[in-house]
Amino acid sequence: MLRNKRLVALFGVSLGLSLFVLLAYGFGALKSLELSSVDKRFTIRGEKDAGVIDEAMVVGVDDVTFDELGVQWPFPRGAHAQLIDTLKADGANVIAMDIQFTEPSGDPEQDDLLIDSVTEAGNVVLATAETDDGATRVFGDDDVVEGANATVGNSLFPEDSGGVVRRVEHERGGIPTFSVAVANRVTGKPVAKSQFDDDGAWIDYAGKPKTIETISYSTVINEEFPPGTFKDKIVVVGATSPTLQDLHRTPTSGDGEMAGPEVQANAILTALAGYRLDETGPIFGVVLILLLGFVTPLASIWLDPRGAFAVSMATAITYTLVAYFAFTLGWIILYVYPMIALALSIISALAVNFLAAQYERERVRDVFSRFVADSVVDQVLQQSEGGVKLGGRRTEATLLFSDLRGFTSFAEKLEPELVIDILNRYLTAMTDAILDHEGTLVSFMGDGIMAVFGAPVDSKTHADTGLAAARGMLDKMHEFNSWMEENGHGHGFKMGIGLNTGPVMSGNVGSERRLEYTTIGDTTNTAARLEGATKGTPYQLYIAQSTMDQLSERPTDFEFVEDMPIRGRQDGVRVWGLVEPDQKAIEALG
């Protein structure tokens, strides 16, 4: 019953938390964190195969270029013309100029040199960040561009939060983006727009900055490179010097930045590869959130809390590996939201199990606090936390049974209220004697009492404490009888006590709704029969030989009574009786 309630609570809490995560997913509350998880997948994957990277090269306007050429930016357009001529002569497949030529340079002769070189090369793609409904101002007019057998692409990228460039659009400002324009030029056919969603397509970065080979602009101008270096290559020309401020944060740049031309080169290679990185849709994301959000409660159906926790942790590790290997295959699956759903599921399971354990602890305390002293209850709970099962265990203990003589006939003559008051006073006194000697009060049976020493907490002195409790009960009985006489209720009563030591089965019996602690076995039955055997004898306390043998010190006020036959047992029990002071006086007079 308790386990079922725990499972219902766990499923309810997990459902609520999963819905909370779904709500966060719907509003994109953790979008930046989700994107960062994709960045980490790039980092773990490392560099792509050299065969893919080698298709493109970057010619960078870097600090070395400024030092060697001794000119300021922007360079004379004749320098760019010379660069294009050199790259074309070395066999470059496509020359992608990530440098804007939207305004006249102020030197028509220089402008013409550049236009002539672009025309003669026949494989140049030019960049712009300024468009007007598909029209550009590159070379002053799109007709000039067309006449030069060149194409133009928009060089801007969409940026995610934090300014990280992760995606590229198909077109921007009415014209293809720069990487798409280059890919169109390389393949001779347009890149399909269907490969892009509303946020664009993921750039499949080849690696960290400078993974794609970069050569200084001045090295090309001065022709200080081995012949054939650019043969059949896509060459992206642009600013790489920090002073030109064309640097961007990317998933693979870590705390640093990647030069704009290299970002373009990565976008171009991604386009040529067919945009192999594909993000799974929102429906799949919802399924993943719900699936991981219910791992722990589902595992809890078949496993204990520790087993369910182990399964949940194994799921977290497995899902992390799945997310990474899916990435290497071209799939970007949702990671942060499902993992948060799983984490919240684990936390909720821990919380529910903790509360259930606290509830069970209090229930155990409630059960045992009625029978044992508070110190014993604490020991029981400590043992329970250590793994001791309270449902039933075999142990050695000393059993005590007691009963009042003549109380039933006495009670028939009094008002019920008075009977209950007298009985409660008696039972309170006897309970104090038992609990004061580390006993466990198992049950009241009318005016009878059953107690055990050495259970549920083990004790090596259970026989001593049992006998001490019995003596205490007799002392309390004298006090009780004095009270009876003082209040006009007669001269009081005699009682019978039986003590027996031996193996017993102790534990909780009953149902989930009602539990009782008890001890069963031959030792218990014999103790009860010893108590009954005191009737009609001058003895109020009988102890079995088994108890006598367990005492740390043999008492001198007991005498051997007989080897008493016990109903239900083949062998009799050697019985000893307590000789009380008044009994000794009577025997002396006799």
Q: Please give the Cα distance from 520 to 526 (Å, whole number).
A: 11
pLDDT at position 590: 45
Residues 264 and 287 in one domain: no
In contact, 57 and 236? CB cutoff 8 Å = yes
Give a yes or no: residue 377 inside a domain: yes
Residues 51 and 113 in one domain: yes
Last residue of a domain, one of 335, 360, 385: 360
Give a yes or no: residue 36 inside a domain: no
pLDDT at position 387: 40
In contact, 333 and 47? CB cutoff 8 Å = no
Residues 312 and 392 in one domain: no
Residues 387 and 498 in one domain: yes
Residues 272 and 288 in one domain: no
Residues 272 and 285 in one domain: no
Give a yes or no: residue 503 inside a domain: yes
| Nearest residue to 220 (alpha-carbon basis) of 105, 97, 372 | 97
Q: Please give the Cα distance from 99 to 174 (Å, whole number).
A: 19
Give a yes or no: residue 35 inside a domain: no
What CATH number is given to the structural domain containing 511?
A: 3.30.70.1230
Last residue of a domain, one of 278, 313, 331: 278
* Residue 81 to residues 77, 145, 205, 383, Cα–Cα distance (Å): 6, 15, 30, 87
Q: What angle do CA 171, 175, 176 make, to 5 degrees?
A: 50
Residues 467 and 527 in one domain: yes
Give a yes or no: residue 42 inside a domain: no
In contact, 121 and 95? CB cutoff 8 Å = yes
Give a yes or no: residue 270 inside a domain: yes
Q: Please give the Cα distance from 260 to 115 (Å, whole number).
A: 24
* Residue 278 to residues 22, 28, 156, 197, 327, Cα–Cα distance (Å): 21, 19, 21, 10, 9
Residues 95 and 150 in one domain: yes
Exposure string of 344-375, with b = 16+ CB inside 10 Å and e = fewer, is bbbebbeebbeebeeeeeeebbebbeebbbee
Give a yes or no: residue 41 inside a domain: no
In contact, 83 and 221? CB cutoff 8 Å = yes
Residues 143 and 219 in one domain: yes
In contact, 122 and 149? CB cutoff 8 Å = yes
Range of the domain at 132: 47-278
Give a yes or no: residue 286 inside a domain: yes
Residues 122 and 267 in one domain: yes
In contact, 441 and 449? CB cutoff 8 Å = yes
Count of domains observed in the chain: 3
- Considering the entire predicted model, what is its pTM? 0.70
Q: Tens place of pLDDT for every residue, the chain, 590 residues? A: 456 777 888 889 999 999 999 999 999 999 999 999 999 999 999 988 766 788 999 999 999 999 999 999 999 999 999 999 999 999 999 999 999 998 888 899 999 999 999 999 999 999 999 888 888 989 988 899 999 999 999 999 998 888 999 999 999 999 999 999 999 999 999 999 999 999 999 999 999 999 999 999 999 999 999 999 999 999 999 999 999 999 999 999 999 999 999 999 999 999 999 999 999 999 999 999 999 999 999 998 888 889 999 999 999 999 999 999 999 999 999 999 999 999 999 999 888 877 777 777 777 667 666 655 555 566 556 655 544 444 578 999 999 999 999 898 888 888 989 999 999 999 999 999 999 998 988 899 989 999 999 988 889 999 999 999 999 999 999 999 999 999 988 888 999 999 999 999 988 777 666 667 789 999 999 999 999 999 999 999 999 999 999 999 999 999 999 998 877 667 789 999 999 876 554 454 44
Last residue of a domain, one of 311, 331, 360: 360
Phi-psi category of residue 228: left, alpha or beta, with phi > 0 → left and psi -120 to 50 → alpha: left
Q: Please give the Cα distance from 7 to 9 (Å, whole number).
A: 5
In contact, 97 and 127? CB cutoff 8 Å = yes
Residues 230 and 178 in one domain: yes
Residues 436 and 579 in one domain: yes
